[in-house]
A = this chain, B = another copy of it.
Amino acid sequence: MADRRRMSLGASIRGLGYHTSAWRHPNVLPGASESLSHFTEAARIAAAAKFDMVFFADGLAVRGNDRPAGALSHSHENVELEPTTLLAALAVQTRHIGLVATASTSYNEPYHVARTYASIDHISGGRAGWNAVTSWSEQEALNFSREAHYDRETRYERADEFIEVVRKLWASWEPDAFMHDRKTGRFYDPEKLHAADHRGHFFRVRGPLTSSHTPQGQPVIFQAGDSERGIALAARHAEAVYTIPQTLEDCIRHRKAMDTAAARFGRAPGSVRILPGVQIVTGRTEAEVAEKLMLYDEIADPVIAMARAWSEYGDLSGYDLDAPVPADLQSSDRVSAMRHLGERAKAEGWQLRRLLREYGAGSLRVLAGTPDKIAAEMQEWFGSGACDGFNILPQHLPGGLADVTELVVPILQERGLFRREYEGGTLREHLGLPAAAAVG
């Protein structure tokens, strides 16, 4: 164990990268989002830099509305590997790095999710994590025999019960339940088996799970969703959250809200690790950074930027791009983090053009600069206690990730902010998390 607090780093390596037109980058293979070797390479880059984990977002549909018409065909975010099978394959190709994948609580069954992630924990020797989300897209509903997506309240109620069931299932077998006593013929001790016997509003699940106590006791639970309900969910169940705050102040607010909410479940401040996502663009010199940004601007496709904005605000084509973001723009409010970007744009008096540019660049939070500058900002956030580390969202893969591991990570290591070697073998150990607690 380290004697001082270190930051955690995740590499979010879904698809081709977080720039909405990453596929047009000269160093990106446009077909790579279904190629295992692409992800193996990215995971190995992250593992060589001793990252805590690789992280996969997910969606259960080709998402996005085709407005303006034809916009979807410009997007590379349509085909991909299913993330739990991908994690299992990566488990074999890596040794230490944590393996986290997103699964929706709105369009899954808790028995399947409990089973799949337990299996990955066994296969990987204790490196599995589940990012529980409630999904944001209407399109997913249409793939699961529904006419419309659940409203936020229902989604979060279902999510709360869903995670409760998963945790109960993971606790089906005590660690020493299996006696394997050849003489008596007793394979397990029935006293150490606990059916979930869950009868709730959304689910009735008897259990037990077809998985023994996993190497981590239970896979690490992440949560992503920034609304009040999202925070309440995490406060009860999550061990880490993935969030996209626009500013340091937002992140500090998030931390405080989380600690307050967690206290209601008897959890100490800081129990829930906070890992903001950040799209980093870096290079050896200011000039190199500028060059990279210019290239990202060049490949950015205005059709995609418009489509993203359309999903959030409706048709913006009648607006003056050089005027400030109109005060009356109404967010669809599907994802709180997206609404926050628009609020920031208004508060800071951005031109509409800049907001659209952010949508083209990925609509999350872009941090660009030389490695020193990036490291300093990470240190500021981390040092202030706002967060416990970062989820790195490379603009293109694997190049954008390699930039961070080659240029930024060594500075963090020199400053004692990040590990030089793995000190444990499980994701739980990387994150400094205790053994999992029973459902509260």
Contact = CB atoms under 8 A, between A and B. Distances in A.
A74 B187 contact: yes
B36 A210 contact: no
Interface in A206-224: 206-208, 210-212
Given A142-B204, A211-B34, A82 B116 contact: yes
Contacts of A87: 85
A78 B139 contact: no
Given A123-B36, A145-B203, A187 B85 contact: no
Contacts of A89: 88-89, 91-92, 123
Nearest to A213: B79
A434 interface: no
B120 A62 contact: no
Contacts of A35: 122
Interface residues of A, number: 74
A115 interface: yes
A266 interface: no
A212 B35 CA distance: 11
B204 A61 contact: no
Interface stretch (A23-31, A245-253, A338-346): A23-31
A391 interface: no
Given A144-B109, A144-B111, A187 B123 contact: no
Contacts of A17: none
A85 B82 contact: no
A185 B74 contact: yes
A404 B318 CA distance: 73
A4 interface: no
Nearest to A142: B206
Contacts of A212: 34, 79
A73 B188 contact: yes
Nearest to A173: B79
Interface string A25-68: 00000110011100000000000000000000001111000000
A190 interface: yes
A22 to B, nearest CB: 11
B74 A178 contact: no
Interface string A87-108: 1110111000000000000011
B115 A208 contact: no
A311 interface: no
Nearest to A103: B112
Interface of A: 21, 23-24, 30-31, 34-36, 59-62, 70, 72-76, 78-82, 84-89, 91-93, 107-109, 111-112, 115-116, 118-120, 122-123, 139, 142-147, 173, 178, 180, 182, 185-190, 193, 202-208, 210-212, 301, 303
25 contacts: A24-B185, A30-B178, A30-B182, A31-B178, A60-B115, A72-B190, A73-B190, A74-B186, A74-B187, A78-B188, A78-B208, A81-B211, A84-B116, A86-B88, A86-B119, A86-B123, A88-B88, A89-B89, A92-B92, A108-B112, A109-B145, A143-B206, A143-B207, A145-B203, A145-B204
Q: What 6 A-B pairs are tightest by C-beta distance, nearest first?
A: A82-B119, A30-B180, A88-B88, A85-B88, A142-B206, A92-B92
